[in-house]
Amino acid sequence: MALEAEIQSIVQQFEYSDGDVNNAVKEFLRQMDEGLGKDGTSMSQIPTYVTGVPNGTEKGLYMAVDLGGTNFRVCSIQLLGNSTFTHTYNKVAIPKHLMVAKTAQELFAFLASEIKKFLEEHHSEDFEHHIRRRKTVSSPSGFRDEHIFRMGFTFSFPVKQVGINKGTLIRWTKGFDIPDAIGKDVCALLQAEIDKLHLPVKVAALVNDTVGTLMARSYAAPGKQGSVLGAIFGTGTNGAYVEKLSKLKKPLSGEYDQSTGEMVINTEWGSFDNQLNVLPSTKWDVALEKDSLNPGFQMYEKRVSGMFLGEILRLAIIDLLNNPNVSLFKDENSSSNDRGSVTIIAKDSGLYKQWGLDTAIMSTAELDQDAELAGLRQALENTLDVYAPAYEDAMAFKKIAHAIGRRAARLSAVAIGAIVLQTGKLDDPELKDEPIDVGVDGSLVEHYPGFRPMIYEALSVIDGIGEEGAKRIRIGLTQDGSGVGAALIALVAAGMEKSASGADYLSERSSDNKAPGPAAGDDKTTTG
Ligand code: BGC
Protein backbone atom coordinates (compact mmCIF):
# COMPACT_ATOMS: atom_id res chain seq x y z
CA MET A 1 0.00 0.00 0.00
CA ALA A 2 2.86 2.31 0.85
CA LEU A 3 4.11 1.93 -2.70
CA GLU A 4 0.70 2.77 -4.15
CA ALA A 5 0.43 5.92 -2.01
CA GLU A 6 3.94 7.04 -2.96
CA ILE A 7 3.21 6.53 -6.65
CA GLN A 8 0.07 8.61 -6.40
CA SER A 9 1.98 11.41 -4.76
CA ILE A 10 4.65 11.33 -7.50
CA VAL A 11 2.08 11.20 -10.29
CA GLN A 12 0.26 14.13 -8.75
CA GLN A 13 3.45 16.23 -8.80
CA PHE A 14 3.62 15.82 -12.58
CA GLU A 15 0.02 17.03 -13.05
CA TYR A 16 -0.16 20.00 -15.38
CA SER A 17 -3.68 21.37 -15.18
CA ASP A 18 -5.76 23.15 -17.81
CA GLY A 19 -5.18 26.37 -15.88
CA ASP A 20 -1.41 25.78 -15.94
CA VAL A 21 -1.55 25.22 -19.70
CA ASN A 22 -3.38 28.51 -20.25
CA ASN A 23 -1.02 30.49 -18.03
CA ALA A 24 1.94 29.05 -19.88
CA VAL A 25 0.44 29.93 -23.29
CA LYS A 26 0.13 33.57 -22.21
CA GLU A 27 3.72 33.62 -21.00
CA PHE A 28 4.91 31.87 -24.17
CA LEU A 29 3.29 34.58 -26.31
CA ARG A 30 4.89 37.25 -24.14
CA GLN A 31 8.34 35.68 -24.41
CA MET A 32 7.93 35.23 -28.19
CA ASP A 33 7.20 38.91 -28.50
CA GLU A 34 10.14 39.84 -26.31
CA GLY A 35 12.46 37.73 -28.50
CA LEU A 36 11.21 39.44 -31.67
CA GLY A 37 12.15 42.78 -30.14
CA LYS A 38 15.70 42.30 -28.96
CA ASP A 39 18.64 39.92 -28.65
CA GLY A 40 19.67 38.13 -25.48
CA THR A 41 16.18 37.03 -24.41
CA SER A 42 15.19 33.64 -23.08
CA MET A 43 13.61 32.51 -26.35
CA SER A 44 16.03 33.64 -29.04
CA GLN A 45 13.49 34.04 -31.91
CA ILE A 46 16.25 33.77 -34.51
CA PRO A 47 15.54 35.25 -37.96
CA THR A 48 16.52 32.60 -40.54
CA TYR A 49 16.64 34.77 -43.69
CA VAL A 50 14.23 32.29 -45.29
CA THR A 51 11.34 34.41 -46.48
CA GLY A 52 8.84 31.95 -47.84
CA VAL A 53 7.81 28.33 -47.81
CA PRO A 54 7.89 26.12 -50.92
CA ASN A 55 4.91 25.11 -53.04
CA GLY A 56 6.04 21.71 -54.28
CA THR A 57 7.21 22.75 -57.76
CA GLU A 58 10.89 23.22 -56.87
CA LYS A 59 13.45 21.11 -58.76
CA GLY A 60 17.16 20.34 -58.71
CA LEU A 61 19.90 18.21 -57.21
CA TYR A 62 21.33 19.27 -53.88
CA MET A 63 23.35 17.93 -51.02
CA ALA A 64 22.42 18.10 -47.38
CA VAL A 65 24.17 17.18 -44.16
CA ASP A 66 22.67 16.97 -40.71
CA LEU A 67 24.35 17.40 -37.35
CA GLY A 68 22.07 17.68 -34.39
CA GLY A 69 21.74 14.54 -32.33
CA THR A 70 23.40 11.20 -32.13
CA ASN A 71 24.01 10.70 -35.86
CA PHE A 72 25.57 12.59 -38.74
CA ARG A 73 23.73 12.20 -42.01
CA VAL A 74 24.98 13.04 -45.50
CA CYS A 75 22.63 12.93 -48.46
CA SER A 76 21.94 14.06 -51.98
CA ILE A 77 18.39 14.94 -52.94
CA GLN A 78 16.79 15.23 -56.32
CA LEU A 79 13.73 17.47 -56.04
CA LEU A 80 11.40 16.37 -58.80
CA GLY A 81 9.12 19.39 -58.81
CA ASN A 82 5.87 17.53 -58.19
CA SER A 83 6.03 17.48 -54.39
CA THR A 84 8.20 14.37 -54.53
CA PHE A 85 11.91 13.68 -54.43
CA THR A 86 14.45 10.90 -54.49
CA HIS A 87 17.43 10.73 -52.22
CA THR A 88 20.52 8.76 -51.28
CA TYR A 89 22.05 8.93 -47.84
CA ASN A 90 24.71 7.68 -45.46
CA LYS A 91 24.34 7.80 -41.70
CA VAL A 92 27.07 7.43 -39.12
CA ALA A 93 27.03 7.67 -35.31
CA ILE A 94 28.99 10.64 -34.03
CA PRO A 95 31.85 9.33 -31.91
CA LYS A 96 31.18 10.37 -28.29
CA HIS A 97 34.65 11.88 -27.84
CA LEU A 98 33.99 14.31 -30.71
CA MET A 99 30.83 15.62 -28.99
CA VAL A 100 33.08 16.99 -26.27
CA ALA A 101 36.26 17.50 -28.35
CA LYS A 102 38.87 20.09 -27.35
CA THR A 103 38.59 21.98 -30.62
CA ALA A 104 35.77 22.55 -33.09
CA GLN A 105 38.19 21.65 -35.88
CA GLU A 106 38.30 18.01 -34.73
CA LEU A 107 34.54 17.64 -35.07
CA PHE A 108 34.26 19.49 -38.38
CA ALA A 109 37.19 17.56 -39.91
CA PHE A 110 35.27 14.38 -39.13
CA LEU A 111 32.16 15.78 -40.84
CA ALA A 112 34.14 16.73 -43.95
CA SER A 113 35.71 13.27 -44.13
CA GLU A 114 32.22 11.73 -44.06
CA ILE A 115 31.13 14.04 -46.90
CA LYS A 116 34.17 12.88 -48.88
CA LYS A 117 33.26 9.22 -48.31
CA PHE A 118 29.71 9.89 -49.46
CA LEU A 119 30.84 11.58 -52.67
CA GLU A 120 33.28 8.80 -53.46
CA GLU A 121 30.59 6.23 -52.86
CA HIS A 122 27.59 7.81 -54.55
CA HIS A 123 28.84 10.54 -56.90
CA SER A 124 32.24 9.26 -57.88
CA GLU A 125 32.08 10.54 -61.46
CA ASP A 126 31.52 14.13 -60.46
CA PHE A 127 34.01 13.85 -57.68
CA GLU A 128 36.86 12.59 -59.86
CA HIS A 129 35.97 14.98 -62.68
CA HIS A 130 36.16 17.85 -60.25
CA ILE A 131 39.53 16.79 -58.84
CA ARG A 132 40.92 16.49 -62.41
CA ARG A 133 39.66 19.94 -63.35
CA ARG A 134 41.05 21.43 -60.17
CA LYS A 135 44.46 20.12 -61.13
CA THR A 136 44.34 21.33 -64.74
CA VAL A 137 42.27 24.51 -64.86
CA SER A 138 43.29 27.75 -63.31
CA SER A 139 42.13 31.28 -63.92
CA PRO A 140 42.88 34.63 -62.33
CA SER A 141 39.37 34.75 -60.91
CA GLY A 142 39.83 31.38 -59.33
CA PHE A 143 38.09 28.13 -59.89
CA ARG A 144 34.58 28.66 -61.31
CA ASP A 145 32.02 27.05 -59.15
CA GLU A 146 29.39 25.93 -61.61
CA HIS A 147 30.12 22.29 -60.99
CA ILE A 148 29.93 22.21 -57.29
CA PHE A 149 27.15 20.92 -55.13
CA ARG A 150 25.12 23.45 -53.17
CA MET A 151 24.74 21.97 -49.73
CA GLY A 152 22.26 22.72 -46.98
CA PHE A 153 23.84 22.29 -43.55
CA THR A 154 21.31 21.27 -40.93
CA PHE A 155 22.91 22.28 -37.67
CA SER A 156 20.38 21.89 -34.90
CA PHE A 157 21.74 24.04 -32.12
CA PRO A 158 21.07 27.67 -31.21
CA VAL A 159 22.92 29.82 -33.73
CA LYS A 160 22.85 33.57 -34.24
CA GLN A 161 22.15 33.62 -37.92
CA VAL A 162 23.45 36.63 -39.85
CA GLY A 163 22.82 35.39 -43.37
CA ILE A 164 21.46 32.38 -45.19
CA ASN A 165 24.80 30.57 -44.85
CA LYS A 166 26.36 32.35 -41.91
CA GLY A 167 25.77 32.00 -38.23
CA THR A 168 27.66 31.87 -34.97
CA LEU A 169 27.04 29.24 -32.34
CA ILE A 170 25.32 30.63 -29.24
CA ARG A 171 25.54 27.49 -27.09
CA TRP A 172 25.64 23.74 -27.39
CA THR A 173 22.72 21.57 -26.29
CA LYS A 174 21.86 17.84 -26.22
CA GLY A 175 25.11 16.62 -24.69
CA PHE A 176 27.55 18.41 -27.02
CA ASP A 177 30.15 20.59 -25.31
CA ILE A 178 33.03 22.09 -27.32
CA PRO A 179 33.58 25.56 -25.83
CA ASP A 180 36.07 26.43 -28.59
CA ALA A 181 33.20 26.56 -31.12
CA ILE A 182 31.07 29.11 -29.28
CA GLY A 183 30.90 32.40 -31.16
CA LYS A 184 32.34 30.91 -34.36
CA ASP A 185 30.62 30.74 -37.76
CA VAL A 186 29.73 27.06 -38.11
CA CYS A 187 29.37 27.25 -41.90
CA ALA A 188 32.88 28.68 -42.22
CA LEU A 189 34.22 25.96 -39.93
CA LEU A 190 32.69 23.26 -42.14
CA GLN A 191 33.67 24.95 -45.40
CA ALA A 192 37.31 25.22 -44.24
CA GLU A 193 37.48 21.46 -43.64
CA ILE A 194 35.69 20.71 -46.94
CA ASP A 195 38.20 22.90 -48.77
CA LYS A 196 41.14 21.16 -47.14
CA LEU A 197 39.90 17.97 -48.81
CA HIS A 198 39.24 19.80 -52.13
CA LEU A 199 35.64 18.62 -52.24
CA PRO A 200 33.26 20.09 -54.85
CA VAL A 201 30.86 21.35 -52.21
CA LYS A 202 29.70 24.78 -51.14
CA VAL A 203 27.95 25.20 -47.80
CA ALA A 204 25.12 27.26 -49.26
CA ALA A 205 22.61 27.32 -46.43
CA LEU A 206 22.55 27.02 -42.67
CA VAL A 207 19.44 25.23 -41.55
CA ASN A 208 17.90 24.43 -38.20
CA ASP A 209 16.09 21.08 -38.23
CA THR A 210 12.80 22.80 -37.40
CA VAL A 211 13.14 25.10 -40.40
CA GLY A 212 13.94 22.08 -42.57
CA THR A 213 10.84 20.35 -41.21
CA LEU A 214 8.68 23.36 -42.04
CA MET A 215 10.08 23.49 -45.58
CA ALA A 216 9.78 19.74 -46.17
CA ARG A 217 6.19 19.75 -44.93
CA SER A 218 5.24 22.62 -47.22
CA TYR A 219 6.91 20.94 -50.20
CA ALA A 220 5.27 17.56 -49.67
CA ALA A 221 1.82 18.64 -48.46
CA PRO A 222 1.20 22.02 -50.01
CA GLY A 223 -2.12 23.56 -48.98
CA LYS A 224 -3.67 26.88 -49.83
CA GLN A 225 -1.76 28.32 -46.91
CA GLY A 226 1.41 26.23 -46.57
CA SER A 227 2.40 25.07 -43.11
CA VAL A 228 2.61 27.48 -40.24
CA LEU A 229 4.98 25.59 -37.97
CA GLY A 230 7.73 22.97 -38.16
CA ALA A 231 8.50 21.39 -34.80
CA ILE A 232 10.80 18.75 -33.39
CA PHE A 233 9.93 16.63 -30.36
CA GLY A 234 12.89 14.28 -30.30
CA THR A 235 16.23 14.27 -28.48
CA GLY A 236 15.70 18.02 -28.20
CA THR A 237 12.70 20.21 -28.92
CA ASN A 238 12.19 23.38 -30.92
CA GLY A 239 9.91 25.03 -33.46
CA ALA A 240 10.14 27.36 -36.46
CA TYR A 241 7.19 29.35 -37.77
CA VAL A 242 6.35 31.95 -40.37
CA GLU A 243 6.23 35.45 -38.88
CA LYS A 244 5.20 38.79 -40.36
CA LEU A 245 8.23 41.00 -40.97
CA SER A 246 6.32 43.87 -39.36
CA LYS A 247 6.43 42.05 -36.01
CA LEU A 248 10.16 41.44 -36.20
CA LYS A 249 11.48 44.54 -34.45
CA LYS A 250 15.13 43.68 -33.84
CA PRO A 251 17.61 44.75 -36.52
CA LEU A 252 18.68 42.26 -39.22
CA SER A 253 22.19 42.47 -40.61
CA GLY A 254 22.12 40.20 -43.68
CA GLU A 255 20.40 40.49 -47.07
CA TYR A 256 16.95 39.03 -47.53
CA ASP A 257 13.98 39.16 -49.87
CA GLN A 258 11.41 41.58 -48.47
CA SER A 259 8.72 40.92 -51.06
CA THR A 260 6.84 38.23 -49.16
CA GLY A 261 6.54 40.37 -46.02
CA GLU A 262 7.36 37.28 -43.97
CA MET A 263 10.31 35.42 -42.52
CA VAL A 264 10.73 32.03 -40.94
CA ILE A 265 11.72 32.43 -37.29
CA ASN A 266 13.60 29.73 -35.39
CA THR A 267 12.12 30.22 -31.93
CA GLU A 268 14.63 28.08 -29.96
CA TRP A 269 11.72 27.34 -27.65
CA GLY A 270 13.88 24.79 -25.80
CA SER A 271 14.88 27.83 -23.75
CA PHE A 272 11.32 29.06 -23.20
CA ASP A 273 10.99 30.30 -19.63
CA ASN A 274 14.53 29.70 -18.42
CA GLN A 275 13.38 31.96 -15.56
CA LEU A 276 10.77 29.36 -14.53
CA ASN A 277 7.93 31.90 -14.40
CA VAL A 278 5.41 29.27 -15.41
CA LEU A 279 7.23 25.98 -16.02
CA PRO A 280 6.60 23.25 -13.46
CA SER A 281 9.53 22.15 -11.33
CA THR A 282 9.46 18.97 -9.30
CA LYS A 283 12.37 17.95 -7.10
CA TRP A 284 13.45 15.58 -9.90
CA ASP A 285 13.55 18.44 -12.43
CA VAL A 286 15.73 20.31 -9.96
CA ALA A 287 18.04 17.30 -9.50
CA LEU A 288 18.39 16.83 -13.27
CA GLU A 289 19.18 20.51 -13.66
CA LYS A 290 21.91 20.49 -11.04
CA ASP A 291 23.94 17.84 -12.87
CA SER A 292 23.22 18.99 -16.43
CA LEU A 293 25.85 20.31 -18.85
CA ASN A 294 24.01 23.62 -19.30
CA PRO A 295 22.36 24.59 -16.01
CA GLY A 296 19.91 27.46 -16.36
CA PHE A 297 19.32 26.89 -20.08
CA GLN A 298 16.89 24.79 -22.14
CA MET A 299 14.52 24.61 -19.17
CA TYR A 300 11.50 23.82 -21.36
CA GLU A 301 13.47 21.25 -23.35
CA LYS A 302 14.52 19.55 -20.12
CA ARG A 303 10.84 18.94 -19.29
CA VAL A 304 9.73 17.97 -22.79
CA SER A 305 12.32 16.21 -24.91
CA GLY A 306 13.51 12.65 -25.27
CA MET A 307 17.00 13.27 -24.00
CA PHE A 308 15.65 14.22 -20.56
CA LEU A 309 12.40 12.34 -19.86
CA GLY A 310 14.17 9.07 -19.12
CA GLU A 311 16.49 10.83 -16.70
CA ILE A 312 13.57 12.44 -14.83
CA LEU A 313 12.00 9.00 -14.54
CA ARG A 314 15.27 7.46 -13.36
CA LEU A 315 15.63 10.08 -10.63
CA ALA A 316 12.06 9.47 -9.41
CA ILE A 317 12.65 5.71 -9.38
CA ILE A 318 15.90 6.11 -7.44
CA ASP A 319 14.02 8.12 -4.82
CA LEU A 320 11.58 5.24 -4.42
CA LEU A 321 14.42 2.74 -4.16
CA ASN A 322 15.97 4.84 -1.40
CA ASN A 323 12.71 5.19 0.49
CA PRO A 324 12.76 2.68 3.37
CA ASN A 325 8.96 2.76 3.61
CA VAL A 326 8.28 1.45 0.15
CA SER A 327 9.30 -1.70 -1.55
CA LEU A 328 10.13 -1.43 -5.22
CA PHE A 329 12.16 -3.98 -7.17
CA LYS A 330 12.76 -5.85 -3.92
CA ASP A 331 11.92 -9.46 -3.46
CA GLU A 332 9.78 -9.13 -0.34
CA ASN A 333 7.15 -7.23 -2.30
CA SER A 334 7.03 -9.65 -5.13
CA SER A 335 4.12 -11.68 -3.89
CA SER A 336 2.80 -12.03 -7.40
CA ASN A 337 6.15 -12.56 -8.98
CA ASP A 338 5.13 -15.25 -11.36
CA ARG A 339 8.65 -16.00 -12.45
CA GLY A 340 9.27 -17.50 -9.07
CA SER A 341 12.75 -16.07 -8.87
CA VAL A 342 14.40 -13.37 -6.82
CA THR A 343 13.95 -9.76 -7.88
CA ILE A 344 17.32 -8.07 -8.07
CA ILE A 345 18.79 -5.01 -9.70
CA ALA A 346 22.26 -5.63 -11.11
CA LYS A 347 24.93 -3.43 -9.51
CA ASP A 348 25.79 -1.83 -12.82
CA SER A 349 22.15 -1.27 -13.85
CA GLY A 350 21.49 1.89 -15.83
CA LEU A 351 19.18 2.90 -12.98
CA TYR A 352 22.26 3.85 -11.00
CA LYS A 353 23.91 5.95 -13.73
CA GLN A 354 23.16 9.45 -14.99
CA TRP A 355 21.39 9.11 -18.38
CA GLY A 356 21.29 5.35 -17.75
CA LEU A 357 17.57 5.04 -18.45
CA ASP A 358 16.85 5.38 -22.15
CA THR A 359 13.58 7.24 -22.78
CA ALA A 360 12.61 4.54 -25.30
CA ILE A 361 11.47 2.27 -22.43
CA MET A 362 8.79 4.84 -21.60
CA SER A 363 7.20 4.03 -24.96
CA THR A 364 7.30 0.33 -24.11
CA ALA A 365 5.66 1.09 -20.75
CA GLU A 366 2.94 3.20 -22.37
CA LEU A 367 2.26 0.62 -25.04
CA ASP A 368 2.04 -2.38 -22.73
CA GLN A 369 -1.64 -3.10 -22.02
CA ASP A 370 -1.01 -6.74 -21.18
CA ALA A 371 -2.70 -7.96 -17.97
CA GLU A 372 0.69 -9.13 -16.68
CA LEU A 373 2.70 -6.26 -18.18
CA ALA A 374 4.86 -8.96 -19.72
CA GLY A 375 6.47 -6.70 -22.35
CA LEU A 376 7.49 -4.03 -19.88
CA ARG A 377 8.84 -6.59 -17.38
CA GLN A 378 10.93 -8.08 -20.15
CA ALA A 379 12.20 -4.62 -21.14
CA LEU A 380 13.13 -3.89 -17.52
CA GLU A 381 15.27 -7.02 -17.57
CA ASN A 382 16.76 -6.44 -20.99
CA THR A 383 17.54 -2.76 -20.79
CA LEU A 384 17.90 -2.00 -17.09
CA ASP A 385 19.08 -5.31 -15.68
CA VAL A 386 16.21 -5.46 -13.21
CA TYR A 387 15.71 -9.20 -12.95
CA ALA A 388 12.33 -10.82 -12.30
CA PRO A 389 10.42 -7.61 -11.56
CA ALA A 390 6.98 -8.13 -10.05
CA TYR A 391 3.79 -6.92 -11.66
CA GLU A 392 3.45 -4.19 -8.97
CA ASP A 393 6.98 -2.98 -9.73
CA ALA A 394 6.27 -2.73 -13.44
CA MET A 395 2.95 -1.00 -12.78
CA ALA A 396 4.64 1.57 -10.54
CA PHE A 397 7.19 2.22 -13.28
CA LYS A 398 4.44 2.52 -15.89
CA LYS A 399 2.38 5.01 -13.89
CA ILE A 400 5.29 7.35 -13.20
CA ALA A 401 6.49 7.12 -16.81
CA HIS A 402 2.99 7.98 -18.02
CA ALA A 403 2.78 11.02 -15.75
CA ILE A 404 6.10 12.35 -17.06
CA GLY A 405 5.13 11.68 -20.70
CA ARG A 406 1.73 13.28 -20.24
CA ARG A 407 3.23 16.42 -18.71
CA ALA A 408 5.65 16.60 -21.68
CA ALA A 409 2.78 16.33 -24.17
CA ARG A 410 0.75 19.03 -22.40
CA LEU A 411 3.78 21.30 -22.35
CA SER A 412 4.26 20.60 -26.07
CA ALA A 413 0.70 21.79 -26.63
CA VAL A 414 1.63 25.08 -24.95
CA ALA A 415 4.20 25.84 -27.66
CA ILE A 416 2.07 24.64 -30.57
CA GLY A 417 -1.04 26.42 -29.28
CA ALA A 418 0.78 29.69 -28.65
CA ILE A 419 2.23 29.72 -32.16
CA VAL A 420 -1.12 28.93 -33.76
CA LEU A 421 -2.60 31.86 -31.81
CA GLN A 422 0.31 34.11 -32.81
CA THR A 423 -0.36 33.49 -36.52
CA GLY A 424 -3.97 34.65 -36.10
CA LYS A 425 -5.04 32.10 -38.71
CA LEU A 426 -7.81 30.52 -36.64
CA ASP A 427 -9.69 33.85 -36.71
CA ASP A 428 -9.08 34.69 -40.37
CA PRO A 429 -12.53 34.52 -42.06
CA GLU A 430 -10.92 33.65 -45.40
CA LEU A 431 -9.46 30.50 -43.89
CA LYS A 432 -12.68 29.44 -42.16
CA ASP A 433 -12.66 25.88 -43.47
CA GLU A 434 -8.92 25.48 -43.95
CA PRO A 435 -6.74 23.31 -41.71
CA ILE A 436 -3.91 24.99 -39.84
CA ASP A 437 -1.02 22.78 -40.81
CA VAL A 438 1.83 21.84 -38.47
CA GLY A 439 4.71 19.53 -39.46
CA VAL A 440 6.37 17.57 -36.66
CA ASP A 441 9.27 15.16 -36.40
CA GLY A 442 11.28 13.43 -33.70
CA SER A 443 11.28 10.23 -31.70
CA LEU A 444 8.65 11.33 -29.19
CA VAL A 445 5.94 12.22 -31.71
CA GLU A 446 6.90 9.25 -33.82
CA HIS A 447 7.24 6.54 -31.20
CA TYR A 448 5.63 7.56 -27.91
CA PRO A 449 2.13 6.05 -27.99
CA GLY A 450 -0.59 8.63 -27.54
CA PHE A 451 1.71 11.65 -27.59
CA ARG A 452 -0.27 13.44 -30.29
CA PRO A 453 -3.70 12.65 -28.78
CA MET A 454 -2.47 14.07 -25.46
CA ILE A 455 -1.29 17.20 -27.29
CA TYR A 456 -4.72 17.56 -28.91
CA GLU A 457 -6.48 17.13 -25.57
CA ALA A 458 -4.46 20.01 -24.13
CA LEU A 459 -4.88 22.17 -27.26
CA SER A 460 -8.64 21.92 -26.89
CA VAL A 461 -8.59 23.59 -23.46
CA ILE A 462 -6.55 26.60 -24.59
CA ASP A 463 -8.50 29.87 -24.57
CA GLY A 464 -8.87 31.11 -28.15
CA ILE A 465 -8.49 27.57 -29.57
CA GLY A 466 -11.05 25.36 -27.84
CA GLU A 467 -12.37 22.09 -29.17
CA GLU A 468 -13.36 23.50 -32.56
CA GLY A 469 -9.99 25.17 -33.06
CA ALA A 470 -8.08 22.06 -32.01
CA LYS A 471 -9.94 20.08 -34.67
CA ARG A 472 -8.65 22.48 -37.33
CA ILE A 473 -5.02 22.11 -36.27
CA ARG A 474 -3.55 19.36 -38.43
CA ILE A 475 -0.39 17.94 -36.88
CA GLY A 476 1.37 15.68 -39.39
CA LEU A 477 4.54 13.67 -39.10
CA THR A 478 7.14 15.07 -41.49
CA GLN A 479 10.35 13.22 -41.77
CA ASP A 480 13.30 14.28 -43.85
CA GLY A 481 13.35 17.91 -42.88
CA SER A 482 17.09 17.71 -42.67
CA GLY A 483 17.28 16.19 -46.15
CA VAL A 484 14.67 17.65 -48.38
CA GLY A 485 14.10 20.69 -46.16
CA ALA A 486 17.78 21.58 -46.18
CA ALA A 487 17.92 21.06 -49.95
CA LEU A 488 15.01 23.48 -50.37
CA ILE A 489 16.84 26.14 -48.40
CA ALA A 490 20.01 25.53 -50.43
CA LEU A 491 17.78 26.20 -53.44
CA VAL A 492 16.57 29.50 -51.95
CA ALA A 493 20.22 30.34 -51.29
CA ALA A 494 21.24 29.51 -54.86
CA GLY A 495 18.52 31.86 -56.09
CA MET A 496 19.86 34.60 -53.81
CA GLU A 497 23.45 34.03 -55.05
CA LYS A 498 22.28 34.39 -58.60
CA SER A 499 20.36 37.58 -58.10
CA ALA A 500 23.21 39.06 -56.09
CA SER A 501 25.98 38.32 -58.59
CA GLY A 502 24.17 38.07 -61.90
CA ALA A 503 26.23 34.93 -62.49
CA ASP A 504 24.94 32.47 -65.03
CA TYR A 505 26.21 29.26 -63.56
CA LEU A 506 22.82 28.19 -62.33
CA SER A 507 21.43 27.82 -65.80
CA GLU A 508 24.28 25.74 -67.09
CA ARG A 509 22.80 22.47 -66.01
CA SER A 510 19.26 21.55 -66.72
CA SER A 511 17.24 21.76 -63.56
CA ASP A 512 15.29 18.63 -64.27
CA ASN A 513 18.37 16.67 -65.18
CA LYS A 514 17.67 13.36 -63.47
CA ALA A 515 21.18 11.94 -63.87
CA PRO A 516 23.31 12.32 -60.78
CA GLY A 517 25.59 15.28 -61.01
CA PRO A 518 25.97 18.61 -59.32
CA ALA A 519 23.37 21.17 -60.30
CA ALA A 520 22.36 24.31 -58.60
CA GLY A 521 18.67 23.88 -59.13
CA ASP A 522 16.02 25.47 -61.22
CA ASP A 523 16.60 29.17 -60.92
CA LYS A 524 13.13 29.81 -62.24
CA THR A 525 11.41 28.23 -59.28
CA THR A 526 10.93 30.29 -56.22
CA THR A 527 9.71 29.71 -52.76
CA GLY A 528 6.60 31.27 -51.42
C1 BGC B 1 18.36 22.89 -30.26
C2 BGC B 1 17.54 23.33 -31.44
C3 BGC B 1 17.01 22.12 -32.19
C4 BGC B 1 16.30 21.18 -31.24
C5 BGC B 1 15.76 19.94 -31.93
C6 BGC B 1 17.61 21.89 -29.41
O7 BGC B 1 18.43 21.39 -28.39
O8 BGC B 1 18.70 24.00 -29.45
O9 BGC B 1 18.30 24.15 -32.31
O10 BGC B 1 16.15 22.56 -33.20
O11 BGC B 1 17.18 20.78 -30.22
O12 BGC B 1 16.77 19.18 -32.53
Which atom number of ligand 1 is nearest to the Cα of residue 271? 8
Whole-model pTM over 0.75: yes
Is 501 designated active site?
no
Q: H helices of 424-465, where? A: 443-447, 451-459
CA of 83 to the centre of ligand 1 (A): 26
Q: Is the minimum distance from the CB of 158 to ligand 1 under 6 angstroms?
A: yes
For residues 240-261, b (16+ Cβ closer than 10 Å) or e, as one string?
bbbbeeeebeeeeeeebbeebe
Told to judge if 209 belongs to the known catalytic residues of this protein, a careful annotator would answer yes
Q: Is 156 in the pocket of ligand 1 (CB under 6 A)?
A: yes
Residue nearest to atom 11 of ligand 1 (CA): 236
To the nearest whole percent, how much of the chain has pLDDT over 90?
A: 74
Query: How far is the CA of 301 from the CAs of 201, 242, 279, 314, 415, in angstroms?
Result: 34, 21, 11, 17, 11
Along the 528 residues of the chain, how does pLDDT read in single tens digits? Answer: 688 999 999 999 999 999 999 999 999 999 999 999 999 999 999 999 998 888 888 899 999 999 988 899 999 999 999 989 999 999 999 999 999 999 999 999 999 999 999 999 999 877 677 666 665 555 444 455 556 899 999 999 999 998 899 999 999 999 899 999 999 999 999 999 999 999 999 999 999 999 999 999 998 876 667 799 999 999 999 999 999 999 999 998 878 888 999 999 999 999 999 999 999 999 999 999 999 989 999 999 999 999 999 999 999 999 999 999 898 998 765 555 455 568 899 999 999 999 999 999 999 999 999 999 999 999 999 999 999 999 999 999 999 999 999 999 999 999 999 999 999 999 999 888 889 999 999 999 999 999 999 999 999 999 999 999 999 999 999 988 888 999 999 988 887 776 555 433 333 333 333 333 333 333 322 222
Burial 129-145 (b: 16+ CB within 10 A, else e): ebeeeeeeeeeeeeeee
Length of the chain equals 528
CA of 97 relative to ligand 1 center, distance in Å: 20
Distance CA 164, CA 489 (A): 8
Q: Is 239 in the pocket of ligand 1 (CB under 6 A)?
A: no
Ligand 1 binding pocket includes 262 (Cβ within 6 Å)? no
Atom of ligand 1 nearest to the CA of 236: 11
Nearest-5° Cα angle at 476, 475 to 478: 135
* C-beta of residue 419 within 8 angstroms of C-beta of residue 239: yes
CA nearest neighbour of 25 among 302, 413, 285, 406: 413
Q: Rounded CA gap, 517 and 478, in Å?
A: 27
Residue 463 designated active-site: no
Catalytic residue among 66, 126, 185, 209: 209
Binding site membership of 68 for ligand 1 (Cβ less than 6 Å): yes
Residue 237 Cα to ligand 1 middle (Å): 5
Q: Which atom of ligand 1 is nearest to the CA of 159?
A: 9
* Best mutation site among 238, 305, 440 for ligand 1 pocket (most ligand atoms within 8 Å of CB): 238
Q: Give the model confidence (pLDDT) of 95-139 as tens digits.
A: 999 999 999 999 999 999 999 999 999 998 776 776 666 655 554
Q: Are 108 and 192 in contact (CB under 8 A)?
A: yes
Catalytic residue among 42, 44, 76, 156: 156
Q: Is the CB of 481 under 6 A from ligand 1?
A: no
Q: How many Å apart are CA 375 and CA 405, to the nearest integer? A: 19
